[in-house]
Structure formats: C-alpha cells, structure tokens
Amino acid sequence: MTLQFPLPNVPLAPRAPSILSKPFGSLFSLTLFCLIPAASALAAAPASSSVMLEELTSTELRSRIDHGATTVLVPIGGVEQSGPYIALGKHNVRAGLLARQIAQKLGNTIVAPVVSYVPEGAISPPAGHMRFAGTISIPPAAFEAMLEGAAASLRQHGFRDIIFLGDHGGYQKNEQNVANKLNRAWGKASTAKDARAYALLDYYDITQSQYIAELQKRGHSSAEIGLHAGLADAALMLATDPSLVRSEAMAHGPKPGVADGVRGDATRATAELGQIGIKLQVDTSVAAIKQLLQRNK
C-alpha cells in the first residue's frame, strides 16, 4: 500500500532557457562566430621582432638572415665575485642587456647567447677571484675553443660579421686571438663565405678611460671609483639591473676591502652615474661597429 500526500499548490518558477534547447545549427553558428576572431588574431600575429637569437624560432631567424640581418653580436660575460654587495652574475647581465641595446641601434643585427664561462685564474691552488665562493673559471684554451665553435656555427648559418663584446678585462686578448685565427682560416677556405670575426675592444676600453674621466669630473676619486666592485662597477650594475646590488646592506654594512675581493668604494654609486657609462658603451660600440662594417664592405 502506497501512501500519497497532496502537494502544496505552489506555482513553479519560470524555467531558464537552456542552451541545449537551442537548435543545433544556432549553437554551431554561435561557437564558430566566437572562434573566428581568435583564429584571425593568431594568424595575424607578427613574427617576433626580438634581436635576441634565443627568443626567435629557427624559421624566424632564417628569414631575418635572408632579409639582411647578417651581423651578430656575441656578448661575453663571466661568473666572478664582486664582494658582498654585487651579485656574481654582473658581467653576464650587463653584457646581454647592452648587446641588446647596441643591436637595436644598429638594425639588422642579432644577439647570440651570452658566453658565461670564461677564464678567471687558477683553480687549484685558487688565485685571484677563484679565492672567493662562486667564481667559475675555465682554461684560456677552452674559452678560445668555445668562441671559435660559436663563431663557426654562426657563420655556417649565414652571418657575415661576427663581433665579440667582452664585458671583462681579463680575456680581451683571448678575443683578439680568436678573431685573428678565424679570419686567417676563413680567408684561406676554398668555400669562403666572406665572413669576418671582430674583437670589439672599444666596448670595454671606454669604461676604463672616458667613463672614469666622467666620474672624476663629478668629484669621485680614483680610489673610490676603484678597479673592481667599486663605485664604477656598482653604478653600472644599478643602471642595468639594480636587483643584483645589495643597496641597503651596502649603505649600512661594513665597508669591504681587498681582503673581501673589493678595490674601491661603492657607497655613493647611483643608477644615474651608471647611465653615463652605459650610454658611452652603447654609443661607442655602435659607432665602432659601423666603421668596421663600412671598412670591410
């Protein structure tokens, strides 16, 4: 026996229209209408305009080279100590960022990946920067072989002017050795592709001459500017990537010296002072590269 209870006489709420109640054709049209703009946007998206080789696809790079981007910059950094207030990767960051700016000003120029492993002195027993944690050193012969291989690869893909930009003073001669060796070999090659290699020493030299003079004009002494991790180094870093400078600790902490891997006093360093050096490096490099390319047309 089933008990039945009378239901209260409550009016039902109006039923919301369901998309499932729409005819299939209307639903398909609506979906297609929504997808078409998205597909069109994807199809219309331009190829990357970046100057950084690593940010391009192989196909994009091939097209750029075929349309005249046959100059390539090879920025060279390094991993070395710069005392307690500047991060170990300062040279890598500066070399990459400045190479990007130089390439953008030149036009038709690509920037290869930063070469991060460089000679920094004897490992065992440790000498120079290797006495401090984090510095990475490779033998000069290995460094030169790495540059040779990178340059040969870039030449193979159609680059005609391969330019080394070294952010560190210790391997400038190695850059020259490699450029000279490559140009001798390429000049003798029976299938020469008219490529040349250059060591752009102006990029580094300007920081040791005119930039120092500009800082001195503003009342900073040679001792303060320093030879390593002093005011000049810290200012350049503040102008490129301030997150790599421990500014608060530098302002209030102990003043490091030679025993701490520092030669100079970075306390008064500012991004504004660093911008002077960055502009000098970029403008000097652009002018020097234009002269090289014009001379070797």
Residue-wise pLDDT tens digits, 98-124: 999 999 999 999 999 999 999 999 999
Round to the nearest angstrom and report the end-to-end CA distance of the chain: 105
- Residue 30 lies inside a defined structural domain of this protein: no
Q: What is the pTM of this model?
A: 0.83
The two three-digit tokens of residue 126, written as one number: 């440790």
Residue 76, strand partner residues: 115, 166
Could you tell me the residue range of the domain that residue 99 belongs to? 53-295
- Residue 223 lies inside a defined structural domain of this protein: yes
- Residue 46 lies inside a defined structural domain of this protein: no
| pLDDT at res. 193 | 61
Question: Distance (Å, rounded) from C-alpha 126 to C-alpha 158?
Answer: 41
How many structural domains does the chain have?
1
Question: Distance (Å, rounded) from C-alpha 103 to C-alpha 50?
Answer: 10
| pLDDT at res. 24 | 43
- Residue 14 lies inside a defined structural domain of this protein: no
- Residue 41 lies inside a defined structural domain of this protein: no
Question: Distance (Å, rounded) from C-alpha 72 to C-alpha 115?
Answer: 14
The domain spanning residue 234 has which CATH number? Answer: 3.40.50.10310
User: How many whole angstroms from its chain centre is CA 77?
Assistant: 10
Residue 77 phi/psi, 5-degree rounding, is: -110, -110
- Residue 175 lies inside a defined structural domain of this protein: yes
| pLDDT at res. 191 | 56
- Residue 282 lies inside a defined structural domain of this protein: yes
Strands 196-199 and 161-166, bridge-based pairing: parallel
User: How many whole angstroms from its chain centre is CA 143?
Assistant: 19
**Vertex 121, ends 172 and 75: CA angle to 5°?**
35
Indicate if the alpha-carbon torsion angle 262, 223, 201, 128 is positive or negative: negative
- Residue 47 lies inside a defined structural domain of this protein: no
Low-confidence ranges of the chain (pLDDT < 70): 1-47, 189-193
